[in-house]
Amino acid sequence: MWAAVIWTDEASIRIEGGQIFVTRSVEEKYDIDCCVPKFRGYSSWMIHGSISHGYKGPLVVFEKDWSTELGYKTKTINGDVYRTYMS
């Protein structure tokens, strides 16, 4: 019976970002060598995979512009994107 089941999962992987700790003295507070630039956004990827008895499906990396190709104004992964690119 388990041979007829497909398990799927997805993950969002965040690239860049996180905390950076800098050790400095009080006099170095605004020293350019001790400053770290901050970015408003961050890069992320959404991936999807599936497995079944004796079968491993493809690992799909979603492209951010897939939703805009379908006519959406925002770059989101929704049901329409799934149905279009996962079939």
Q: Is 31 helix (H, G, I), strand (E, B) or coil?
A: coil
Residue 34 in contact with residue 24, Cβ under 8 Å?
yes
- pLDDT tens, residue order, the chain (87 aa): 888 999 999 888 777 666 666 777 888 877 877 776 665 556 677 888 999 998 999 898 888 788 888 888 877 778 888 888 876
Return the pLDDT at 51: 94
Residue owning tokens 């897939």: 66
Distances (CA, A) of 29 to 35, 36, 50, 53: 8, 11, 50, 59
- Per the prediction, the chain carries an average pLDDT of 80
21 Cβ partners below 8 Å, 6+ apart? none
H or E segment at 68? helix 66-69
Query: How many CB atoms within 10 Å of residue 36?
Result: 8
